[in-house]
Amino acid sequence: MKNLVLTLLLFLNLLPLSRVVEGRAFCALRDPVSSINNLFPEATQHQSLVKAINADIRSEINEVLPFTLHFNELGKHTLYVVQKYGDAQGFVHVRSELTEWGLVEIAWALELDLSMRNLQFQRCRIPGCDVKHLPNILDLTVGKSYSEIRDLLSKDGTSLRPDLQTKLGDSHSFSYSAIKSALKTILVTGMAWNEEVGELNRQAMINRHYGHEASVSVVDIPVNELKLKQLDEIMGGGGSMVERESVKSFQIQREGNMEGTIVTANWRDGDYRGMYHWLFDTEKRVIDILTIPNWPNEQARTSFNQLLGTKIMDEEQCHTAAQIAGFELYFLSHN
């Protein structure tokens, strides 16, 4: 009988099943409810979104950072969408990071645009961790975007900046591990939960500008091939920051009348990769712009925010990268 069982065991392991690995029994899984309640005291409920973190995401992270997920970080993970009476307030994402003292588990609280809001140690087995290290990590990360946190590292990303190493003294090594965790958390959230993060941000944008009226509906309008070709001709084959194939538009309607359009698209600026959300009204005016993760730098934020309230110009009148991006997105999403 034991031979039969061993054969069965071997056979099952040779099956070409998806090898998403879950090493521990699932009854050991616990929602970080205390962390969620502490990080978002105003929240009324949360929603779990479970996704598989696979080798593709691991590779993508390695393209933009000099470190990536260790293999134990692959598998299914949960992103908690924290809500207040149905409105998303942000996310809680718990990730473990290898330090020289073992694994440290951090519950990161993210804003909807994936900038860092707060954090709490779920597990840090260093005596006095909350007293010695937490204030430093809070100081380095809270309120910062991905790019601002990336700027805390040396150019090659293998340590903290020399000035921070001096400032933090003997806790700089631990702080570096926590910064790595913060960067990976933002990237993994943006990649694995790309669709959900985009949807929640679009809804937040609609709520900001149109209120919570149930009569507002959203219609997904695909971008057609002809428009892409036309734009390519207009721009003379020149490239831009916008990945045009990724453009999606969503018409906002109230009682059958069109009120505006939200256009989303992936875009790049140097090492930065993000997703735009532009809101246009029916008169070609830019009502709102946000990007996920948050803006790569203050200059980009200022440049794009200058377009708010202005009308989209024709291509020959565009002088800045922001204006060109606006023109492209509007062109691709409108007839």
Between residue 61 and residue 100, which ones bind other proteins under the rule CB under 8 A?
A: 70-72, 74-76, 78, 81, 83, 86-88, 98-100
Q: Determine how many CB atoms are found less than 10 A away from the CB of residue 74.
A: 17
> 43 vs 290, which CB is nearer to other proteins?
43
Q: Residue 186, by phi and psi: left (phi above 0), alpha (psi -120 to 50) or beta?
A: alpha
Q: Is 127 helix (H, G, I), strand (E, B) or coil?
A: coil
Minimum separation from the CB atom of position 15 to other proteins (A)? 8
Using CB under 8 A as the binding rule, the residues of this chain from 38 to 57 that contact other proteins are 38, 43-50
> 201 vs 294, which CB is nearer to other proteins?
201
Q: CA-CA distance, 300 to 289, in Å (whole number)?
A: 12
User: Distance of CA 289 to CAs 95, 102, 250, Å?
Assistant: 30, 41, 14
> 33 vs 308, which CB is nearer to other proteins?
33
Q: Is 291 helix (H, G, I), strand (E, B) or coil?
A: strand
> 71 vs 142, which CB is nearer to other proteins?
71
Examine residue 9 and tell whether it contacts other proteins (CB under 8 A): yes
Q: CA-CA distance, 25 to 8, in Å (whole number)?
A: 21
Using CB under 8 A as the binding rule, the residues of this chain from 252 to 291 that contact other proteins are 262
104: which strand partners? 97
Examine residue 122 and tell whether it contacts other proteins (CB under 8 A): yes
Q: Shortest CA distance to 113 belongs to which of 138, 145, 83, 141? A: 145
Q: CA-CA distance, 221 to 156, in Å (whole number)?
A: 42
Pairing mode of beta strands 116-123, 216-222: unpaired
Tokens for 56?
Answer: 């593709």
Binding test (CB under 8 A) with other proteins, winner from 56, 67, 101, 232? 101
Using CB under 8 A as the binding rule, the residues of this chain from 164 to 183 that contact other proteins are none
Binding test (CB under 8 A) with other proteins, winner from 196, 243, 281, 315? 196
Binding test (CB under 8 A) with other proteins, winner from 7, 8, 139, 142? 8
Q: Which stretch, 124-132, 273-281, 314-322, 326-334, contacts other proteins (CB under 8 A)?
A: 124-132
Minimum separation from the CB atom of position 90 to other proteins (A)? 14
